[in-house]
Amino acid sequence: MQQPKCSHCGNARCKHGAPSVHVLDVAGWEIHKQQFVCEAIAQQLGILPQKQQLELSLPPDVLANLLGDLKPGTAAPATGDPTRPRPQETICTGCRLTLGAFKMRGRVGCPRCYETFRPQLVPLLERVHDATAHRGRFPGRPARIAPDPVDLTELRTRLQTAIAQERYEEAARLRDSLKKLSGGLEPDRDDGSGAS
Amino acid sequence: MSQLPSIPSDLTLGEWLRADGPDSDIALCTRVRFARNLLGYRFASLLDAEESRDLTAYLVQQVGQLGMQEPLRVLDLMSMSELDRELLVERHLISRELAAAERPRAAAHDEPERVALMLNEEDHLRSQVFRSGFRVEEAYAAAEALDDKLISALPIAFSEEFGFLTSCPTNVGTGLRLSVMLHLPGLVWAEEMEKAANTCQKIHLAVRGMYGEGSRALGDFYQVSNQVTLGRSESSLVDDVRVAVAQLIAWERRVRLALLAGERRPRTLDRVWRALGTLQSARILSSEECLNGLSAIRFGVQQGLLPDLSAQDLNRLLLLTQPAHLQRLHGKSLEAAERDALRASLVRGALAGRGQGAL
Ligand SMILES: [Zn+2]
Ligand SMILES: [Zn+2]
């Protein structure tokens, strides 16, 4: 990754150190805006709690900020039933978690959530891990004999873009390679949208 | 340390303070943790009390049948006293989060405290393997063997694309967290710790204090762990930590020598002996003062300045002066002021007469 510049002081390295907090303004499927700030600025903006130590699991409020709701105080209040959707809101069929509740808590509710909230999760994974696909071991098999790491996510993202831009020939080709690479594990899908 | 009160058998040192692994003068312990979830149950943040109970009961039953070499002792955290849970936290067997939660949950560990499982934590199952000293590969191999057992006994949530699925996306993929606990007084005293921590962060390793909250690391004890869990193989994550920690250890050794040479030597010696003097005579000792003092003395012991004390003596004090251990030794719960007095007398007893005739 290229060293980003701090969105507030414009330096790749300011007196607080290198900018280490990536703030994404995500709405629906699109990243509207992204900025990098250093930790001290992030604390001033209320994105990071004051004097926060490096946490291994990001606290839910930091994740919520990475997932959207840039300005402090604009997040929906943390009350009510997390499984009761607002009209037309994305909801996981596995656990009934709503997109809003996921953004607020930064925790998913079941394995299927990874599929349901893919559009929000992929940029988050990219940011946190600098990767979007597993390259470690498979259950019962050590990594060294696992199949060649296949970046299904990347293919799927390209497929979605191709469909959105009505490039159908490319989409068909991508869908074929997806099917081949996932060894038939990939379910047939009409529109490539992961959300239900 | 004959002056210590007799120690209950469950308050022995445990693997992580045994001080017998490679580089154990600087690396206290290596820990490997895997985060796993089961199919068929919602993840922790959505579990209601009944599901939590079912899940915990199921996990306890399955864990009991794993056929481990060392039998596991299963603990129902719901029915345990807060003090007993706190004791497990101080022994690094369970997380503070699991101790404090209110839902049904359990833990299991073997007698040498080399294996500890957390059941119904932020993930359904978190397995941990400990090895004293700097033994990354050995600890990883043992953790993988344990994980294989768990995977064949339980329906683990896994996707070919995202790997092992976790409640928090920051742990997804390998679900692996490899940590080495380090004592780095040299880097702190030479004011190079910040530089060291920044270097680690650049290669995606997290450095945090082992004791205390907030930004300060009490007693110069740090934990270095991988931050990334996705998109890398386990062996490359293990390698990252191994290489970086080996460099930190070498750096710490260099700095220690420099601190004990030339113009800096008197100041360093003063620091060690001043700490020994304070801890040998204090009547009231807060956790913080105690940890900082023990750190300086531990440095002295490791550098051969205090031949009549051993690393194990110091590790034992580190453990026994923690609040829950103190109260356990005393047999009942204590107010903070009482703890500070008891801590001082425990430390005084253990250090009485030491450091005589040296230098
Ligand atoms: Zn800045
Ligand atoms: Zn779900």
| pLDDT (tens digit per residue) in A116-147 | 999 999 999 999 999 999 999 988 655 444 44
Count interface pairs A-B at CB distance under 8 A.
144
Instruction: Using alpha carbons, list the distances in angstroms from residue A51 to A40, A44, A54, A124, B144.
Output: 9, 10, 10, 23, 36
- pTM for this entry: 0.76
Q: CA of B51, closest CA in chain A: separation in Å?
A: 13
Q: Are B144 and B41 in contact (CB under 8 A)?
A: no
In this complex, is the C-beta atom of A142 within 8 Å of any C-beta atom belonging to chain B? yes
- Inter-chain CB proximity A63 and B37 less than 8 Å: no
Fold of the domain spanning B15-256 = Creatine Kinase; Chain A, domain 2 (3.30.590)
DSSP secondary structure letters along B240-260: HHHHHHHHHHHHHHHHHHHHT
* Burial label, B212 (beta-carbon count in 10 A; 0-12, 13-18, 19+): middle
Domain range summary for chain B, segments of one domain joined by +: 15-256, 264-351
C-alpha count within 13 angstroms, C-beta hemisphere, residue B19: 18
Judged against a pLDDT cut of 60, whether residue B195 lies above it is answered with yes
Q: B243: Cβ–Cβ under 8 A, 6 or more apart, which residues?
A: none
Q: Which residue has the tokens 């209110």?
A: B102
Average pLDDT over residues B30-50: 93
Tell which wins on pLDDT, B177 or A72: B177
pLDDT at B10: 54
ipTM for the predicted complex comes to 0.86
Q: Is A179 on the interface with B (CB under 8 A)?
A: no
Per-residue tokens: A152: 């299904």
**Amino acid code (one letter) for B207:** V
Mean pLDDT of all residues in A141-155: 50
| CA–CA gap between residue B143 and residue A137 (Å, rounded) | 13
Copy the structure tokens of residue A45: 């903006």
B355 phi-psi bin (left φ>0, alpha ψ -120 to 50, beta other) = left
Mean pLDDT of B284-298: 96
Q: Which residue has the higher pLDDT, B302 or A46?
A: B302
Given this model, what pLDDT does residue B261 score?
A: 97
Do B231 and A20 lie within an 8 Å CB cutoff?
A: no
CA distance B196 to B278: 30
pLDDT mean across residues, chain B = 91
- Cβ–Cβ gap B161/A152 under 8 Å: yes
Confidence of residue B27 (pLDDT cuts 50, 70, 90): very high
- Which residues of chain B have a CB within 8 Å of the CB of A83? 46
**Identity of the residue in B173, B206, B233 whose CB atom sits nearest the CB atom of A56:** B206
Cβ atoms of residues A49 and A40 within 8 Å: no
Distance set, CA B19 to CA A131, B24, B29 (Å): 37, 5, 8
Note whether B46 contacts A110, CB cutoff 8 Å. Answer: yes
The DSSP 8-state label assigned to residue A134 in this structure reads -
Longest dimension (CA), chain A: 52
